[in-house]
Chains A and B, each alone.
Chain A
Amino acid sequence: MQGLCYALRMTQYRHFLPLAILLSIFLLLSACAELPAPVTPAGQSLQFITIIDPQGVFAGSPDRKLIAIGKGGLQLLELPSGEGRRLDSQTPLALGWRHDGTQLAAAFVAEDGKGRLVIFDRAGKAVDQSELPGTPVDLAWSRRDDLLVAGYSLRAFSFGGSLTQWLVRVNGAEREQSIIGDTTLKPATTKAVRDRLSHLLKVAFSPAGDELVVLQLHDPPQFPAYLQMTHRNWQGAGERKLLQLPVEAVALHWGETEDVVAYRPGTGSWRVLLLWPPSGSPAPVTEQAADVPETWGVETRLQHFDSGDYLLAVNGRLYAGSGMPPRLKQTDAENAWLLRKWRFEGLITPDEYREVRP
């Protein structure tokens, strides 16, 4: 309960409420991981769905009738029957349903490092397939039906490695690729990280899908390598540098409100990041400690539906729950997209954004 109390104390930031509930759920789960049906603080029970790979990906359709799971390939489960079908023999690294529930996107990587993006219809039929520039890390559909896939490519040489992080955006026939990180790695760093880059180069997309937080790997000469957390709005150019972290697996979640990101380094505790703190804050980015125990691991995953229902994967078990605050539709308004772009480009201040947003 400490996590909930912490968050509720911060009532001046109403956006923390869903995060508080989420933190409490994780607390309970971590304490009762072996119980078949944990109960939320609000008295709602979580429904166990299936066993999944601890680091496997999943995506529930918006109507909660279908769940795609990466487990020994790509499986599509129907609820509540639990009947499953195999859509692809390869296990995806990222999954996501379009917001109208008509399409499922799955991103794969082959052993030769070639990435693949496949779009399935609701019946499980592949309707489109294209190449990706490398290994996918995460994907999301924006509220405007942009399909966003983030990933990386590593070219290893005897003198080091060339690491490029990319973002592919697809919307109908429109497809664009941008660089979201580009660095040269020392030979020792290349050797040390090449097999765990998917766990290091995490990406989190905002609920509307127009912004993302990216972990970049930096490896400057004469200094140790580090992870640089950056913030982007893909409608505009440039990035905001947020903070630096040691090179270890990091959990990264964008809160269900616009401006809150929670992260946890592998050996650290959970922290909350306000991306646009009110004016007068001492730093452009305000970081707060989240009072959450160590048992909330970096592999924990959450999918939040508009209604307040959610899917939660923890300790290799997938649960369905409800009772989180519903998403605010206003954040999807055209005005809001534009205002966030202007805020990111420094055309308006965060305070002006808060004052004018729908």
Chain B
Amino acid sequence: MSRILILLGGLVLGGVTQTLAADTCLGCHEKETPAAVAQWRGSAHAASVGCADCHGSNHDKIVAGTSRVEAKVCGRCHDKAYHEHVTSRHGMGLHSGWGCTRAMEKRDPRECRFCHEEGSTLPKSTVHCARFLMQSSEMGEIGCNRCHQVESSCAACHANHLTSLEPLRRSEICATCHMGPDHPQWEMWQTSRHGVLNATVGEEAGPSCQNCHMPKGSHDVSFGITMTSGMDLLPESTRKSRRAEMLGICTQCHSRAFSEREFSRNDAVRDQSTALVARAAEVIRTLDDRKLLEPSPEQRPAHPLGGKALVLDNQMLYENLSRAERLFFKMKKYDLAKAVKGAYHQNPAYTHWYGNAELKLTLAEIESEAALLNRVSGRQAGTADRRQEDGFVGQEQRLQELKRRFERGGMSAEEYAAEKARVLERLRNEPRN
């Protein structure tokens, strides 16, 4: 019996040595990280929320970086904000950005937590990001996760130990992530009438990001948004309710007729711009049908999710591309966002010169590239014609092209059979023995 007591006593003591009481933190951290402690002392948390309440009490895990303060920790007290957050687009930041462990040999094992519950191999999400999977661990951490961690970390926007809401009500807080060539919302807002008035007169004349997208302190950043982050339209019923939400914001300053007319124009620009991208995609798919992309998808390293197939959707990579695809990436990822988001943010230059003009210039370049490739390969784009000297090779290429086009759903079974019949008829009329 005494042996058992000694053993139990040893276990308890062992646990104590591994676990630090919360009130012991300040003794060291006032010397080690004095600014962090000062921020905490000046925050609303100082009155009732101690270090261990958020960080836990296992110092070893904290030092190892495996005891991160997740959003759900904040959600214990900030229940409403947490639930608004997790159901909004920010709450999908990792879902849309994180990959799985297929590239684990290149990754920091601590990253597992982002996709898996502790101790579980089941992923939190089935959505993967091919671009993330192609990056080094270091690039993924800085270039991807610093923004996409917003799903699980309130500190992505809120400073770690400050609780003041003042900086969080300014547009600058959004700028770290919502800027750059792929979605320059910060820049296009800043130079729009809203942004200029905000800077020169104040919030009462020019709304901030938060005024329109997080009204009344809501954490639902999907408020009023009618498209996915990949610029695909949401279901119509969702779009209607979201549009009504945003009209409610606009009509605080503008007439309903004005607001609706502007949205109508914005929607038209969106549709016109996406049509340009769709046209470019079709040109590239046709080049792929004809095996004219260099390197072809078969010649490249396999796409992490799409394998050896041509990928032009939101999982499109910017590695190992042909020139036409590189141009298309720019159109889809950069120019389209500038034209469409520029329109919704009421920024003329982004809508027109950075967006629309670049879309059209790049489409012209892609079509010119396609025409050149077709000419070099002895074809005329969009027709079944071939030069006489192509002979059987030309006919075979045409059949291959038709097969690929049919298999990707680019033509009906009837159209496919009719086109093949044309090729075979030519063969029948030109027997060679």
Contacts and interface: CB of A to CB of B under 8 A. Distances in A.
Nearest to A353: B424
Interface in A303-358: 333-335, 338-339, 341-342, 345-348, 352, 355-356, 358
A348 B392 contact: no
Contacts of B400: 345, 347
Contact of A338 (B392, B403, B420, B428): B392
A335 B396 contact: no
Contacts of B396: 338, 341-342, 347
B432 interface: yes
B431 to A, nearest CB: 6
A334 to B, nearest CB: 5
B120 interface: no
B420 A333 contact: no
B104 interface: no
Majority secondary structure, A binding face: helix
A346 B427 CA distance: 17
A334 B424 contact: no
Contacts of B424: 348, 352, 355-356
A226 B19 CA distance: 61
A358 B420 contact: no
Contacts of A358: 431, 433
Interface string B393-410: 000100110010000000
Interface residues of B, number: 12
Contact of B432 (A335, A341, A346, A355): A335
A interface, size bucket: 10 to 19
Interface string B362-402: 00000000000000000000000000000010001001100
B403 A335 contact: no
B403 A346 contact: yes
A352 B428 contact: no
A238 B236 CA distance: 46
The residue among A339, A347, A358 with the most chain B CB atoms within 10 A of its own CB is A347
A346 B432 CA distance: 22
A356 B420 contact: no
Nearest to B403: A347
B399 A335 contact: no
Given A348-B424, A352-B420, A356-B427, A334 B432 contact: yes
Nearest to A337: B392
Contact of A333 (B399, B403, B428, B433): B433
Nearest to B393: A338
Contacts of B428: 356
Contacts of B399: 342, 347-348
B420 A334 contact: no
Contacts of B433: 333-335, 358
Contacts of B420: 347-348, 352
A177 B223 CA distance: 63
Nearest to B430: A335
The residue among A342, A345, A348 with the most chain B CB atoms within 10 A of its own CB is A342
Nearest to B402: A347
Contacts of A346: 403
A352 B403 CA distance: 14
Contacts of A342: 396, 399
Contacts of A347: 396, 399-400, 403, 420
A354 to B, nearest CB: 12
Contacts of B431: 333, 335, 358
Contacts of B392: 334, 338
A340 to B, nearest CB: 12
A333 B433 CA distance: 5
Nearest to A356: B424
Interface in A65-101: none
Contact of B427 (A335, A341, A345): A335
Nearest to B398: A347
Interface of A: 333-335, 338-339, 341-342, 345-348, 352, 355-356, 358
Closest 3 CB pairs between A and B?
Answer: A347-B399, A333-B433, A334-B432
Interface of B: 392, 396, 399-400, 403, 420, 424, 427-428, 431-433
Given A333-B431, A333-B433, 7 more contacts: A333-B432, A335-B432, A335-B433, A342-B399, A347-B420, A352-B420, A358-B433
13 contacts: A333-B431, A333-B432, A333-B433, A342-B396, A342-B399, A347-B399, A347-B420, A352-B420, A352-B424, A355-B424, A356-B427, A356-B428, A358-B431
